[in-house]
Structure 1
Amino acid sequence: MNTLYKTDYPSQLGIIEIVGSEKAVHSILFSDREQVLHPLTEGTPGVLVDCVHQLHGYFNGQRRQFTFPYTFEGTHFQKKVWQALTHIPYAQTVSYKDIAVSIGNEKAVRAVGSANGKNKLSIVIPCHRIIGADGTLTGYAGGLWRKEWLLEHERAVQRL
């Protein structure tokens, strides 16, 4: 069994807790904590260090894609949804129905929403780029205010 490590990234949206092994990042989730409990240390695996540096680049408007290895666990359907999310262009949005159509199951709009909510790789698997069919911001595990911030941030960077 892989040993899991944690590190925290203090972002503009609060502490982001990163969990991973020496080979891949397993989760990137917003925390409600106000203090870093898991700072980078000499023992932090390189994969997690790369993740922190790439997130820092993202938040500073210098990175639009992520290259560190990550892994996700879920059902076959969830994995299809999460893979489809990675194809949404930076600073753009699509609807839940668009994702359902893209995975060949246009009636699975609610299931796409459910899978989206179970994404443990925030920002990297860009579930914040999914909106309602009417263009409104809907559900985001990290809070709608974070979703709005991320979309505005990407649009501002895109305009540069």
Structure 2
Amino acid sequence: MENLIKKAYTQSIKNKRRGDEEEEVEAIKRIILNAKKIIIATNNQKKFKVISDILSRVVNAKIEMLNINTNCADLTRMPAVSKGLIAVDTEEADVVIARGRLGVPGSGSMLVIMDGKGRILSASLSPSSVVHKEDIETRIKKEIIDALKRVGIELKTDDLRKD
């Protein structure tokens, strides 16, 4: 991943960057699919179950819930990212997944997938719950499926019918 990042940085500096390259997306996909340990940055059992149920259909990793209250992240400008970084700083994991408020109250939510160094691999956004009016489990399921799909990890329709 580091070499791909350096290459992209160099392209940007030279004003030669013309968007993502297939090898970059494949590298992200490999990181997620080959993860041995994934931490979900929540101590909310419902949120953990929704995310881990979907993940277990595509990865063969040990999936654990963060055993730290992450409410303090709500005091930051990007709570979802801050929750992920709390997990990165306190756990050894190949991949971290966090879900929380996008920005200011009312801005909606974000589910973010990070590598063990805290680099964002993928994410998905949702509008405020007063706009989408779905229960949290349904919304989180849509977010994790969307975040995986963004990097080419598709769930089969049969997998989604298991709920």
Same fold (TM over 0.5): no
Which structure carries more helix by proportion? 2
| Length-normalised TM-score, structure 1 | 0.28
How does the TM-score come out when normalised to structure 2? 0.28
